[in-house]
Amino acid sequence: MKKIYANATEALDGVLTDGMMIAAGGFGLCGIPELLLEAIKESGAQDLTFASNNAGVDDFGIGILLQTKQVKKMISSYVGENAEFMRQYLAGELELEFNPQGTLAERMRAGGAGIPGFYTKTGVGTVIAEGKEHKDFNGETYIMEEGIFADLAIVKAWKADDTGNLIFRKTARNFNVPAATCGKICIAEVEEIVPRGSLDPDAIHLPGIYVHRIIQGEHEKRIEQRTTRKKEEA
């Protein structure tokens, strides 16, 4: 199977369609599949549902697709740092399925493992629990959450080999791994593609069996919140 593609547009060819659900990796501005998101923007695909921890910021990440009104619904755990996200949601232009962060990660992991649903205590007694099945275990109440089964997963990794084995860099690892597993097709963009056999098997974070297409490219290194202190006078 051919896994390495020349660019994001080529990698999305024949895969991207209107109305699909996309699981996207990233945490804040870390580990965002920015090249694939830009290609999705350029494609003009509409009515997309994104399952992602957050929506980036107004001019980066999923935020660029909010600007062009290509996103119909967000399944997210954090909705700050994005003024357009807030404006569309408050105006009724964007659907939002809000999930606690751990629940969202587990919903992706469950989908990747073929698990249709699971019970959790998180959200019991809050608006998160409204309309969901409740069940008691050992005297404690739990709510049922459904696994996420996405049509497409897009992730960003540090290194890959030509078989799709991936290594992530620090914080970029957290949501990218479960997002990658829950997509019917997974496309990974990476900073470097290395020869087969050069990655230590014990260091691989995601086996290549989950990854269908790979692209290599240049990526920004953005800092979401830059905090500095004033230079001390001599």
Please return the burial class of 131, using the count of CB atoms within 10 Å of its CB with bins 0-12, 13-18 and 19+.
Answer: exposed
| Residue 167 near residue 94 (C-beta atoms within 8 A) | no
Average pLDDT over residues 219-226: 75
Per residue in 21-45, pLDDT tens? 999 999 988 999 999 999 999 999 9
Q: How far apart are CA 119 and CA 113, in angstroms?
A: 15
pLDDT of amino acid 225 = 73
Q: How far apart are CA 158 and CA 206, in angstroms?
A: 12
β-bridge mates for residue 184, sequence order: none
Read off the pTM. Answer: 0.92
Q: Where are the domains of the chain?
A: 8-117+148-216
Other beta carbons within 10 Å of 150: 26
pLDDT of amino acid 218 = 86
**What CATH number labels 8-117+148-216?**
3.40.1080.10
Average pLDDT over residues 93-106: 95
pLDDT band at 47 (very low <50, low <70, confident <90, very high): very high
Tallying the residues shown for the chain, one arrives at: 234
Dig out the tokens for 181 from the structure. Answer: 């597993």
Q: Is 194 helix (H, G, I), strand (E, B) or coil?
A: strand
| Residue 24 near residue 37 (C-beta atoms within 8 A) | yes
